[in-house]
Amino acid sequence: MRDRPLEEKPACSTTSMPAPEALTCPECKADLEIWSDESEVSCENCGALILKNIPS
């Protein structure tokens, strides 16, 4: 395989790289962060479990 720049390699596409997403806790309104490859996060402020809405 010939050497190509990292950004041209298929395994490094932006769709496969997790990214942070901002959300708000519905219980205490704290600002939270969830990664795009996670389906849930616990609020560090109140402990609520927040499930990510995944489009079907």
- Domain span at residue 22 reads 17-56
Residue 7 lies in a domain: no
Instruction: Tell me how many domains the chain contains.
Output: 1
Residue 33 lies in a domain: yes
Its pTM stands at 0.61
Residue 41 lies in a domain: yes
Give the pLDDT of residue 53: 76
Residue 42 lies in a domain: yes
Give the pLDDT of residue 13: 54
Residue 12 lies in a domain: no
Mean pLDDT by 10 residues, the chain (56 residues): 59 71 95 93 96 74
Give the pLDDT of residue 30: 97
d(CA 49, CA 33): 13
Give the pLDDT of residue 52: 84
Give the pLDDT of residue 14: 53
